[in-house]
Structure 1
Amino acid sequence: MYFKLCWAKLNEVVYSRGRCGVKIEGVAFTQEDTKSPSVVSDGRVQAAVNGSCDGAKLKCAHSSFEKVMSTAHVAPANESKFKTVFRVVSGNFLEMYDFMVYGYYASAIAKTYFPSGDEFASLMLALSVFGAGFLMRPVGAIVLGAYIDHHGRRKGLILTLGLMAVGTACVALVPGYATIGALAPIIVLGGRLLQGFSAGVELGGVSVYLSEIATKGNKGFYCSWQSGSQQVAVVFAALIGVIMNRLLPPEQMTAWGWRVPFLIGCLIVPFLFIVRRSLRETDEFLARKHRPSMGEIARSIAQNWGIVLAGMGMVIMTTVSFYMITAYTPTFGKEVLKLSATDALVVTVCVGLSNLIWLPLTGALSDRVGRRPVLLAFTILTILTSYPVVQWLVAEPSFVRLLMCELWLSFLYGSYNGAMVVALTEVMPVDVRTTGFSMAYSLATTIGGFTPAISTYLIHATGNKAAPGLWMGLAAICGLIATLVLYRSPEARNQYKTA
């Protein structure tokens, strides 16, 4: 390692008024403080050595260089940003893939683990277990978020991937209710809770990492790939579903075919683990001299509870709309609209691709015009159009109408979320950025994660098949109010000005 780091070249010596300035690629050191390197945004470290630039001073600089190199793990300045983004979002892909597969096969999972004479009750139990994972997210946000804020982004993201993998295996490998009785749904519930605990900080950890490696003026674009990786998972999971539905008859899909996508998730875990282990710690985290303890983090979150709650309101719009147009679409298309399961999954593939287009576009747009205008525009548009477009769909259900409806809702979700993720990273206090972001996101998903179950209940209770559109409109109202409140605060204005 020493030889690799010594490969960094001394590329600039500047004489000015008795000071010798030394700049070395990949490292930073000073004569005054060799233990706390000052890392700048471009990955290089600069140090000033007082006095004339003589042999003694350069020797001192060399000594400082060695001390810094022995302790700091700094990413090379020329490392590909694309590779770094790919590495950090890899675990995010697995998290969303598991959630999507569960949502796609909720009906089959219900019959396997929650048998009941009432089909509605069985489906509600399965969807409730899907939502139960979200109840663990706030716990994961506090525990794992504090771990990441204290020990580093890299270590925390490796840990969350491991926990997610164990939860996936629980759902994939546990025998059905007919084989081991009540133990089956208990183990599945435990797996979902473990996934939720891990996911409680996965999104926050990824988002903060991306914001800290982003180049100046491009945070929105970089952070949009947190959600972008989720859309790749949506498309991948839906494509597997389409293929499985074509290869197997419905009876075999219900009996065992639904397990195949979960097993595929287990098989790709080793690859994702290798990829994520190659991550380097962010320069911004390494530059911090203070690493807050669990107690300090808890006190900071308590002091900034208003920002966390406002952030939660913004995320509710994201989680409700996302799970409605992805995880709930196959169930809605098959059970409510009476379309084929394949048609509903094909629509979901198109939705994922649509999301993948709008997220980076509006993330980049928010870098140019600001977060607030984008957030306000798309919350208002969602409030005005979400129910009418779903009502238009259920009036004459068809594959074409379902596709058009879902693509419109995808446009609303992707455009809003492209600005929302980066906004949430900017308004959180720096020392507890991961914990604060994760808390806001996790609290919101305890509501939004139940969208499939809530939508199913609303249709059953009201007899109105368009009721899910009302639920999405209500979530947009929360997003609108939260945006107005959050961007009135001095914290939000100051954070955005310095972003």
Structure 2
Amino acid sequence: MEMFDFFLFGFYATYISKAFFPSDNEYASLMMTFMTFGAGFLMRPLGAVFLGAYIDRVGRRKGLIVTLALMAMGTVLIAFVPSYASIGLLAPTLVLIGRLLQGFSAGVELGGVSVYLSEMATPGHKGFYVSWQSASQQVAIIVAAALGYAINVWMAPQQVGEWGWRVPFFIGCLIVPVLFLLRRSLQETVEFEQRKHRPSLGEIYRSMVQNWRLILAGMLLVSMTTVSFYLITVYTPTFGKSVLKLSTVDALVVTFCVGISNFFWLPIMGALSDKVGRKPLLLLFSALTILTAYPALVWLTQAPSFMRMLEVELWLSFLYASWNGAGVVALTEVMPVEVRTAGFSLAYSLATALFGGFTPAIATGLIELTHNKAAPGLWMAAAAACGLLATLILYRRAAVEGRALAHQRATSLTP
């Protein structure tokens, strides 16, 4: 649901900009749209703190129902807001409110689901289980891209611009009742039910403050995930149409293939991380991203074509999915159990708010500022460098803590 709406907002950014943010300057109009898209991500840290603490306090199942209700409210609002021509400044204001509601909910959505899956996983399969949270998002990308393709085939461009772009949002609203039924049927995790002490909200917040270094390191860790995901999915249609001057259909087909590629690689790499460990995959694929992201986009922009764009995006998809398959479950493992949802969600939300969510706007701005169409590749490489640094920090910390614990146990056993 979350990724379906987020992708639609990115894909139909040009139509949304004309409907809610009209301007004589196309660049300025598009930037206002992407800034509104990014504003929702600024609410994510707040959602992570308040809703994450709520889930750690009352349980995974109840919390996930609350987040869905908030997400649904934001989606319905965006789908039914009249255009600027009809209600003036109230239109962009309501769209912004809808994005803020979605952002507040999404702040804990991924964390809540990832923690739920990690606690439900059978021994030795956490990576595989948790990877399905990200893999499920790819279904949203595939369906949204397919809907966009169908709309562009069946409708004239003028119809799409006037009202056709709203159709997928309406379909998103129809999904909500099904999701409520699914979440009401969830079982609470055994690990949560067996916890004898349920920390108060105050205890959770104090623990988060005490672990601020860990949360910041976690934020750097998942910056690679957030930037690469929004670059290869949400921004790809706009990049293909506005920058590479390819057709809308070409951009949609590429995005559709990226969704399939992500869906294929994520569970495989999650399972592989269960076998070889998280650290080797994180080091390998962050290094590969640093070395190849920008050169790949340079090669694409030198002679833009459908096949080149497909090849480059599938390579970036492989890098993203391979990293993410190990990275998300790693973040659930480094967080203290009493603040697992809140800590995970805050780290992820900060990364999304500061890096990933504004990726479409940053990519657009970098191209305008540098006049270099491949500049988004530098942004992805920078995010990978953050992920590499965080991996070294977190696993060095884990090794130190492991040696300290082993020493403590050995000392306690000494007569």
TM-score by length of 2: 0.96
Select which of 321, 327, 342 maps to 2:249: 342
Do structure 1's residue 379 and structure 2's residue 286 form an aligned pair? yes
Q: Give the drift of 1:250.
A: 1.1
Q: How does 1:249-264 map to 2 (within 5 A)?
A: 249-264=156-171
1:396-434, CA deviations, whole angstroms, 9 ceiling, x for partnerless residues?
Answer: 000000000000000000000000010000000000000
Q: How does 1:87-486 map to 2 (within 5 A)?
A: 94-446=1-353, 447-486=355-394
Q: Give the drift of 1:194.
A: 0.2
Partner residue of 2:398? Answer: 490
The 2-side partners of 1:284 and 1:307 are apart by 22
User: Conserved in 2, the CA contact under 8 Å of 1:146 and 1:435?
Assistant: yes
1:210-257, CA deviations, whole angstroms, 9 ceiling, x for partnerless residues?
Answer: 000100000000000110011111111111000111011111111100
Equivalenced residue count is 404
1:8-53, CA deviations, whole angstroms, 9 ceiling, x for partnerless residues?
Answer: xxxxxxxxxxxxxxxxxxxxxxxxxxxxxxxxxxxxxxxxxxxxxx
Q: Specify the code of the residue in structure 2 equivalent to 1:244.
A: I
SS in 2 for 1:237: helix
The 2-side partners of 1:126 and 1:276 are apart by 32
Q: Specify the code of the residue in structure 2 equivalent to 1:339.
A: L
1:104-155, CA deviations, whole angstroms, 9 ceiling, x for partnerless residues?
Answer: 1000000000000000000000011111110000000000001000000000
Q: Give the drift of 1:342.
A: 1.1
Task: From the superposition, tell whether residues 492 and 292 of structure 1 become closer, same or farther in structure 2 (CA, over 3 Å).
Answer: farther
Q: Specify the code of the residue in structure 1 equivalent to 2:48.
A: A
Q: Give the drift of 1:491.
A: 7.4
User: Conserved in 2, the CA contact under 8 Å of 1:427 and 1:492?
Assistant: no
Q: Specify the code of the residue in structure 1 equivalent to 2:364.
A: T
User: Conserved in 2, the CA contact under 8 Å of 1:426 and 1:492?
Assistant: no
User: Conserved in 2, the CA contact under 8 Å of 1:217 and 1:367?
Assistant: yes
Instruction: Please state which structure has a larger fraction of its residues in helix.
Output: 2
Task: From the superposition, tell whether residues 359 and 494 of structure 1 become closer, same or farther in structure 2 (CA, over 3 Å).
Answer: farther
The 2-side partners of 1:212 and 1:494 are apart by 22
Q: Specify the code of the residue in structure 1 equivalent to 2:175.
A: I
SS in 2 for 1:487: helix
Q: Specify the code of the residue in structure 1 equivalent to 2:130.
A: C
The 2-side partners of 1:146 and 1:223 are apart by 21
User: Conserved in 2, the CA contact under 8 Å of 1:242 and 1:345?
Assistant: yes
User: Conserved in 2, the CA contact under 8 Å of 1:354 and 1:411?
Assistant: yes
Partner residue of 1:32? Answer: none
User: Conserved in 2, the CA contact under 8 Å of 1:210 and 1:222?
Assistant: yes
The 2-side partners of 1:355 and 1:493 are apart by 34
1:431-454, CA deviations, whole angstroms, 9 ceiling, x for partnerless residues?
Answer: 000000000000000121100000
Q: Give the drift of 1:494.
A: 4.8
The 1-side partners of 2:249 and 2:54 are apart by 42
Aligned-residue Cα RMSD (Å) equals 1.3
Runs of 5+ unmatched residues, structure 2: 406-415
SS in 1 for 2:22: coil
Q: Give the drift of 1:292.
A: 1.0
Q: Specify the code of the residue in structure 2 equivalent to 1:450.
A: F
The 2-side partners of 1:421 and 1:241 are apart by 29
User: Conserved in 2, the CA contact under 8 Å of 1:487 and 1:493?
Assistant: no
SS in 2 for 1:258: helix
1:69-96, CA deviations, whole angstroms, 9 ceiling, x for partnerless residues?
Answer: xxxxxxxxxxxxxxxxxxxxxxxxx011
The 2-side partners of 1:125 and 1:331 are apart by 14
The 1-side partners of 2:157 and 2:344 are apart by 42
Q: Which has the larger radius of gyration?
A: 1
Higher relative contact order (CA 8 A, sep 6+): 2
Q: Give the drift of 1:97.
A: 0.6
Q: Specify the code of the residue in structure 2 equivalent to 1:243.
A: A
The 2-side partners of 1:335 and 1:147 are apart by 42
The 2-side partners of 1:198 and 1:283 are apart by 25
The 1-side partners of 2:104 and 2:400 are apart by 28
Q: Give the drift of 1:369.
A: 0.7
Q: Give the drift of 1:282.
A: 0.6
The 2-side partners of 1:480 and 1:153 are apart by 31
Question: Which of structure 1's runs of 4+ aligned residues deviate more than 6 A?
Answer: none
Q: Specify the code of the residue in structure 2 equivalent to 1:399.
A: F
The 1-side partners of 2:309 and 2:301 are apart by 9
Q: Percent identity?
A: 68
Q: Give the drift of 1:280.
A: 1.0
1:264-285, CA deviations, whole angstroms, 9 ceiling, x for partnerless residues?
Answer: 0001111111111101111110
User: Conserved in 2, the CA contact under 8 Å of 1:312 and 1:441?
Assistant: yes
The 2-side partners of 1:493 and 1:438 are apart by 23
Q: Give the drift of 1:490.
A: 3.0
User: Conserved in 2, the CA contact under 8 Å of 1:238 and 1:348?
Assistant: yes
Task: From the superposition, tell whether residues 360 and 341 of structure 1 become closer, same or farther in structure 2 (CA, over 3 Å).
Answer: same
SS in 2 for 1:215: coil
The 2-side partners of 1:476 and 1:277 are apart by 38
SS in 1 for 2:163: helix
